[in-house]
Amino acid sequence: MKSFILAAIRWYQQRGGSRRFFNTDCNFHPSCSEYTYQAIEYYGVMHGIKLGFNRIRRCTNPDCVSKIPDPLPGVTSTDEY
């Protein structure tokens, strides 16, 4: 299940992500799809999907001028995902 979800996220990213499918850019860095990917890898499927869903719900400003840094909670910037 985990590998299928992660492969689906990579498929989405490789084909253009939110720019292609929704004609918008993510407001955050890392992007919502990358954040969700990292969350699933780090926290597991259930908690990772919950974190990703909550992040996507916050990504609602289509006029965002600059990317907002929003790393995965509990993971320092020096950790590798």
Q: In terms of pLDDT, which residue wins out, 47 or 79?
A: 47
Q: Model pTM? A: 0.81
Looking at residue 52, its pLDDT comes to: 93
What is the per-residue pLDDT across 7-62, written as a single tens digit (0 to 9) for each?
999 999 999 888 788 777 788 889 889 999 999 999 999 999 999 999 988 887 76
**What are the angstrom distances between the C-alpha of 63 and each of 43, 55, 60, 66, 74?**
31, 17, 9, 9, 29
Does 65 have pLDDT greater than 80? no
Band of residue 81 on the pLDDT scale cut at 50, 70, 90: very low
Residue 81 per-residue DSSP state:
-
Q: Give the type of residue at 33.
A: S
> What residue spans define the domains of the chain?
2-19+26-69
